[in-house]
Chains A and B, each alone.
Chain A
Amino acid sequence: MDYFASLWGNIVLGFGTASSLSNLMYCLIGVGMGTVVGIVPGLGSMAAISLLLPITFHIDPTSALIMLAGIWYGTTFGGSTASILLNLPGTASNAVTCLDGYPMTKQGRGAVALFMTTIASFFGGSIGIVLLMLLSPVIAGYALNFGSTEYFALMVMGLVVASSVSGGSFLKGMAMVLVGIAFGTVGLDIYTGAARFTGGSFHLADGIKLIALAMGLFGVAEIVSSIGLVRGRTKLPPVTMGAMLPTKDEARASVGPLLRGAGIGSFFGTLPGTGPSIAAFMAYAVEKARSRTPERFGNGAMEGIVAPESANNAADQTAFIPTLSLGIPGSATMALMLGALIMHGITPGPQLIVREPGLFWGLVMSFWIGNLLLLILNIPLIGVFVKILAVPYNILVPIVLTFICIGAYSVGQVATDVYMVLFFGLLGYGMRLLALPAAPLLLGFVLGPLMEEHFRRSMLIARGDAMTFLERPISATILAVTVAYLLWMAVAALRRRGQEATA
């Protein structure tokens, strides 16, 4: 009872802080800016937050964090728009949404896709916030148990489960995963400082930027391959409220993916360094693996957009758990927010919730307000967004390409990243011609360096004894589940083949 009484007290305290007029305003600025930045391809929360950061030194830390956090989750919320309408991931964590979102647009169902991802984002975000409210200390405690061996096992599972993301040939998918891992090795080796595949140029020392790779492979490749295919404007059915709503069957079929997506997202969000991108991929892979009709994926399956969008928004919220209660920023953007706190003399860490209840609960309650604002902002805007497609191709494409270049440049203010987008655009086009899937490459690129980092660190700590992965209970369990999954897939494939043979 005490627990609920104090929880209720905290909720009231937090809501009081979050609903003050100035904090409401900062929340609105944050989520509004996040939405814009999310919609514009390539511009990420990082750029927006670093722009606003100097302002935050002059305002109350709670307000500052409410605004910065609004940008952070608002970006993911809005990031699906360009994925769905233009096959351009607004942020890297929305790349998976391209796979089924864009086919839906081609089928004239873009408005439904946007509506459903908005709902999914809101739902996933809400689950994430509930967990943040109820379980922060518990989750922070179990995160302590995740060391490099556990991370490595998790990455292996991720790679195996998600290699099923691509449609078509399994071999082609695996080959693309390997190519992705190869691209991931570019840059300075984090253990020796040796330059790998940088061609002697220090511009590649920090490696290839994820957003450059994602935008090139998906967006630019799409633009290049559609040249000459699209003349004038695409024909679009008029968008009414009715056209936005899914069919009853689709709505019913979305409930499971929404819940599973939120669960997967919440889990990965709490692990620093993995975050929303991997969460989205895993959610997609799980839906595809569970589906009785996996062939629909990649051709506009509703589950293929709601699960990842629910997952990445849930991950966005739970990512605050390690940041605030362990002082470990899960991403560069989170590190900026930590910086803002430290500037105000507040040390994030296990003591934060106790010492700064007003800040913590104010922030958490502002997430509710922010998510509601996003819902209210986004649904009426769907009609506007869909009109983007009515813009003539010869006007839309140059604008979009310009934004892509600005976005790529804004990440690190170096021209190399813009060339990278071009390079991956051409590569992506070539891959399309050869029917090689882009998603596994992106996944290999994300997971490869993480796997290497954790594998080598585990081996360093264990002094080269590979048994460490089986001796530690959590990593042994994860690896066992992975093997079981592989076996299950193999049996299922054999059975299918058997059925086909008898049929």
Chain B
Amino acid sequence: MNLKQRAATRRTILAGAASVTALSLALTLSAAGTAQAQVPDTVTIIVPFGAGGGVDTVTRAVADRLAQDLGVTVLVDNRPGASTMIAQTYVMGAPTDGTVLLVGTPSLSTGFALTPEAAVGDPRTLFDTVTPMAQQPYILTAGPALPESVTDVASLLDWARENPGELDLVNSGPLTAPRLAAELMGYMAEVPMVTISYQAGSQGALDVAAGRVHAGINQIVEALPQIEAGNLRPLAVTSLNRSPNYPDLPAVSETLEGFDVASWNGVFAPAGTPDEVLDAYNAAFNRVFQDESLREMFAPAGTEFVGGSREDLATRLDSEIQRWENLAQEVDLAIE
């Protein structure tokens, strides 16, 4: 077989393969109902963190199911860095036809509210909201540096009042929700506390477990190993309500009324994306969130697939930005 023939054969094989794909694609499309009329054939979901992190794994599991539901190709693209600003910048400039979506996190609100001059812009005007996705509470824990009598939020605050200026709280970075949760707790209870930042929350949890730092606000997965080993006492979750995955653990709000900080993520699109596209995505995502296997997969990490309307996400973002802006006015958030 000479070169020309070989090339010709290869073309036929490729064409054959392409037509098979086209056929199977057509089949899935017809099965998917009406939604795909509005959404493009291929959608790329931008994850603002590296592959393998919590947000990434959640997004990938959702993306798999979204592809089945809509009968379109769903790609997940990691664009980590600069407190999610690299991903934000990418999505800001993306086409508004629904081909690019962004997974937003509390960084959207904390970054803009606390360092507006450094942020890429107001996320409320840069992005349209699609749907709230998942939520997980942070967990408040106490270590052996605190007396045994500290068993809940009230006794922790009592201890802090009796020992003014003593309480150290671990968190995962100055502009992160756990840090702000600690500041908010101190502000609401009128108790001073020192927040100590760690680059990896798990390292912070270890310092609490070893008795070097009194208490911590961490992601559940970061604190879980030390809780299971009996080195950390879980005191409360930071979300407004108790976590359905840990129903015995009280919420901070049971002591400090209205306290509500959680790690959430939601789906955003570049501002100007047509309403019918956003609605179609909202419906599809919310169908996916009902998937029992998806919910079970992430339950141990305390992740709840809350879902909701487009407005729910917009409200959440707006109220968080206002809350952190207010807190920044009341409390000096700079650390010397």
Task: Considering the complex, give the chain A residue whose CB is closest to the CB of B118.
Answer: A195
Taking a contact as CB atoms under 8 Å apart, the answer to whether A349 and B82 are in contact is no
Is residue B213 contacting chain A, with contact meaning CB distance below 8 A?
yes
CB distance from B179 to the nearest CB of A (A): 9
Which residues of A, 257-313, contact B by the 8 Å Cβ criterion? 272-273
**Beta-carbon contact of B210 and A144 below 8 Å:** yes
Interface assignment of A53: CB less than 8 Å from any CB of chain B: yes
Which residues of A sit under 8 angstroms from B54, Cβ to Cβ? 339
Contact A193 B228 (CB under 8 A): no
Known contacts: A193-B115, A203-B82, A327-B225. The answer to whether A332 contacts B50 by CB under 8 A is yes
**A107 CB-CB contact with B under 8 Å:** no
CB-CB contacts of B175-189 with A at 8 A, as 1s and 0s? 100000000000000
Q: Answer yes or no: B81 CB below 8 A from chain A CBs.
A: yes
Contact across chains for A192 and B174 when beta carbons are under 8 A apart: yes
Q: A327-B226, A343-B57, A460-B196 are in contact. Are A50 and B78 (CB under 8 A)?
A: yes
> In the complex the two chains form, what is the Cα distance from A147 to B210 in whole Å?
8
Question: How near does chain B come to A478, taking the closest CB pair, in angstroms?
Answer: 17
B192 at the interface (CB under 8 A from A): no
A342 and B206 contact, CB distance less than 8 A? no
On chain A, the residues within 8 Å of B297 by CB distance are 343, 345
**Which residues on B sit within 8 Å (CB–CB) of A53?**
51-52
Contact with A along B205-246 (1 / 0, CB 8 A): 011011011000000011011101101000000000000000
- B329 in the interface (beta carbon within 8 A): no
In the complex, chain B residues whose CB is within 8 Å of the CB of A427 = none
B334 contacts A351, C-beta separation under 8 Å = no
Number of A-B contacts (CB under 8 A): 135
A79 to B83 alpha-carbon distance, docked (Å): 31
B196 partner residues in chain A, CB cutoff 8 A: 457, 460-461
Tell me if B174 and A193 are in contact (CB < 8 A).
yes
Give the CA-CA distance A193 to B114 in the complex, in Å.
10
Q: Which residues of A contact B30 (CB under 8 A)?
A: none
Q: Among A342, A343, A414, A461, point to the contact of B213 (Cβ < 8 A).
A: A461
Q: Please determine whether B82 and A202 come into contact, CB atoms closer than 8 angstroms.
A: yes
Q: Does B105 contact A (CB under 8 A)?
A: no
Q: Can you give 30 A-B contacts (C-beta < 8 A)?
A: A50-B52, A54-B60, A57-B61, A148-B207, A190-B174, A190-B199, A191-B335, A193-B115, A202-B82, A202-B85, A202-B118, A205-B83, A272-B200, A327-B225, A328-B200, A328-B203, A335-B200, A339-B53, A342-B57, A347-B224, A347-B300, A349-B224, A349-B229, A350-B225, A350-B226, A350-B228, A352-B225, A412-B81, A453-B199, A461-B212
B-side interface residues toward A, CB under 8 Å?
50-54, 56-57, 60-61, 78-83, 85-86, 89, 114-115, 118, 120, 165, 168, 173-175, 194, 196-200, 202-203, 206-207, 209-210, 212-213, 221-222, 224-226, 228-229, 231, 297, 300-301, 334-335
